[in-house]
Structure 1
């Protein structure tokens, strides 16, 4: 059954091309000073929104260069690479890298999720550049002088069996976005990145290809592919 997505306000409906419908399966609305997506179905999780003032965001920011993400991206005391996050989603990793001093461009293919991320970035006063569009096309279009040092990928893979371990945001993304073409993204990223491609994977998941380096956290792994271009 096709899911229905609606907007609670005329301005949102016009901006995103959504019907004005508060009875849809998912409703985009402003509430509590933020833009949020609410699942109206029975036994639904709470609303989805972007909040970079949360405890988790602060913890990741304060951990700084010790984070496996920062080490994988090549962040050092005197090195702050430019980063293209080609699978931005809700922007958590992009925001962490920007907080560490990296110049970050975030790409998101879904207008709905880009709107949620834009709202969160604006409320946080972030200078991350957000681009709505197809990541493979965007990377292929970049002239040599504009190519980033690092391309970061956190691709959506086929839906996992639903368990309590699947977070609320992942439930929303699996239902509304579906999987990415990880193979195409990876190929485009390797042609685009000046220095390296970083791929985020569950810690025990197979690699897309044998990496040059890997940095593990408790639940995820960052595979690093040096491009040297």
Structure 2
């Protein structure tokens, strides 16, 4: 079955926009777990414009499902991950000033760098995943870094699906088959929503986990967080 990990960055963004502690990130994470989600994802950035490094430290002992920390493995990020030892770390090559993630790793060019970072995480018992575009060459090369999983960057699929083009799934199907052949687990995330999640899940063999934040929180403004989470869970099962 495919697990749902909820990215709570947007909850932190809302809190930060007003100051204070409303909504409370820790309480929302607890509620999300109680509604049935199987993981909590955070993506701290150096400017701490949404999830702060202290949020990660506060969440770490309280998350009872899988805890996934995403980010670019600069020293500050690596130290934070090693300090908190989440279930999974997802390596994303985003620039420090990026609004959101916009590309996957070049696993050929950065093989040595990724291998070194991943080895340190795995030595500390942390599952590792690499954010990649649906490019067969990048998926094949990911196996040589020591990563446990790849996370498919799904913006291209979501954009084409919203235009009625279901063939946008084909590169992901091809890459999923390659990942399985070389022994990599498969995660996915970015612009997945209630509109497209069932189609994506039904067509991707071996999909272990999806990480969804922006769309899920936006949908919850109309339908409520518990209702939306349970809809995702029903589509993923």
In the superposition, the TM-score normalised over structure 1's length comes to: 0.32
Structure with greater proportional strand content: 1
Instruction: Give the number of the structure whose alpha-carbon radius of gyration is greater.
Output: 1
In the superposition, the TM-score normalised over structure 2's length comes to: 0.31
Report which structure shows greater RCO (CA 8 Å, sep ≥6). 2
